[in-house]
Amino acid sequence: MDPTTAIARFDRVRADTELLAAPLSPEDQTVQSMADVSPTKWHRAHVTWFFETFVLAENEAGFAPFQDQYWFLFNSYYEQVGPRYARPMRGVISRPGAHEVGDYRRNVDNRVRDLLDRVDEGTFAKLAPTIELGFHHEQQHQELLLMDIKHVLSLNPLQPAYAGRPAEGDGSDRLGWVDIDGGLVEIGSDGGGFCFDNELPRHQQWLEPYRLADRLITNGEWLEFIADGGYLRPELWLSDGWARVNAEAWKAPFYWREADGVWFEHTLHGTTPLDLSLPVCHLSHYEADAYATWAGKRLPTEAEWEHAARSYEVSGNLADRDSFHPRAAGPATGGLRQLFGDCWEWTSSAYLPYPGFHPAAGAIGEYNGKFMSNQMVLRGGCALTPPGHTRASYRNFFPPGARWPVTGLRLADDGGGA
Ligand SMILES: [Fe+2]
């Protein structure tokens, strides 16, 4: 990457965020519907703060922040940068408003462009990895912006739509299986492009032969789980999961609602009758695991998933489609379908450092490493993931009880059998 390319990529990623926010009014952009959700305008400001803090502050001549208090308001979790406003209270911040956040964005955009225009070669070489991280960070927040506004709109009895339209279902065929040889395999980024620090170091792992389902589990298949008492049978559940089922009265995936015997699903394009051929989504890890137990199967490990996915092209139903929702798998291919896009796939792997992992020094080292506790790994990407943002080695992670992200389920099984 040279400075000219950096400016072009910067402009693109910054414009993409604004395009995603465009259908949302200032009022839409202010609401925080639960602690895990951030207001749209906060996402727009926080990704701006990231460039201001990690790119401009140390490299812009005569640097001064756009607004002193924004450093406090829009720092997410970087202890080494300074104190932060409490996350669960982001929704009570009426000022700056959505338009003022736009002013902040334009100011930082211009200053980053100026910096990249004038930067000398040595400084750019030092700065390039942080700029690149800023692009991928902003894309992560583009996905979160959509997941978060989906929750905000779900609480409105007017059932407003964000954008898009339903994808046409195409039926769902029988679940097929793909056998995969085990052996000594390489896991982690191969250095062929950008990766986050948590995808390194590349290392060897031993895999026994295994099988993966050739597509995601569908809404129709999930209904069979419900009909068979899936949410009522403790023997299917991990202990922590069973506690959540009871404490929170789980009876179906997060955005399903039943009315007069008909199931409906809240989506970004509105509330629609449940399409049985679409992948089931908005599951916790506990639900995915319980289903796998019920089906007599298991979840894949993250290494199994990555090893299998490495031989497939990274394409699928990502956020460049117009439904903003998972789509049906389409006809069987003999290989794995829906690997990239549609739903983030829960694995049975705890989110842990790879052997030899060391976070970077300084505040930027807080990006991933400090979250390696009490979270499970998900793979693949979803229908809200920006195109170009995911890859076979990408490690997403959420707490096992999380249901608001676009999460689904692919079954795995031990190989070498019938
Ligand atoms: Fe962030």
**What DSSP letter does each residue of 318-375 carry, written as one string?**
-TTSSS-S-----S--SS--S-EESSEEEEEEE--PPTT--PPSSGGGGSSGGG-SS-
* Sheet of 210-213, strand order: 177-180, 210-213, 412-414
Nearby residues for ligand 1 (ion, Cβ within 5 Å): 76
Q: Give the pLDDT score at 199.
A: 97
**Closest residue by Cα to residue 240 from 400, 376, 349:** 400
Q: Give the pLDDT score at 173.
A: 77
* Sheet of 376-379, strand order: 396-398, 376-379, 344-350, 407-408
Distance (Å) from CA 43 to ligand 1 centroid: 8
Distance (Å) from CA 40 to ligand 1 centroid: 13
Distance (Å) from CA 77 to ligand 1 centroid: 8
Distance (Å) from CA 47 to ligand 1 centroid: 6
- CA-CA distance, 118 to 312, in Å (whole number)? 41
pTM attached to this predicted model: 0.96
| pLDDT above 70 coverage of the chain, percent | 99
| pLDDT above 90 coverage of the chain, percent | 87
- Alpha-carbon distance values, 99 to 22, 25, 30, 107, 382 (Å): 11, 10, 11, 13, 29
Q: What residue spans of 22-165 are helical by DSSP H?
A: 40-51, 70-73, 98-118, 121-154
Tokens of 110: 């211009």
H or E element at residue 258:
strand 256-259
Distance (Å) from CA 266 to ligand 1 centroid: 26
Q: What is the pLDDT of residues 131-185, one digit of tens each?
A: 999 999 999 999 999 999 999 999 999 999 998 888 776 766 789 999 999 999 9
Give me the mean pLDDT over the 252-273 stretch.
96
299, pLDDT greater than 60: yes
C-beta of residue 213 within 8 angstroms of C-beta of residue 410? yes
Rounded to 10 degrees, what is the CA torsion of 111, 113, 116, 117? -110
Q: What is the Rg, in whole angstroms, of the alpha carbon atoms belonging to the chain?
A: 22
Distance (Å) from CA 416 to ligand 1 centroid: 43
Distance (Å) from CA 141 to ligand 1 centroid: 7
Distance (Å) from CA 371 to ligand 1 centroid: 13
Distance (Å) from CA 132 to ligand 1 centroid: 14
418, pLDDT greater than 60: no
Distance (Å) from CA 368 to ligand 1 centroid: 10
Distance (Å) from CA 389 to ligand 1 centroid: 15
C-beta of residue 85 within 8 angstroms of C-beta of residue 72? yes
Q: Are strands 376-379 and 203-207 parallel, antiparallel or unpaired?
A: unpaired
Distance (Å) from CA 75 to ligand 1 centroid: 8
- CA-CA distance, 219 to 389, in Å (whole number)? 26
Q: Residue 239: which residues within 8 A CB-CB, separation 6 or more?
A: none
Q: Give the pLDDT score at 172.
A: 65
C-beta of residue 352 within 8 angstroms of C-beta of residue 395? no
Please report which confidence band the pLDDT of residue 413 belongs to, taking 50, 70 and 90 as the band edges.
very high
**Closest residue by Cα to residue 404 from 275, 295, 284, 248:** 284
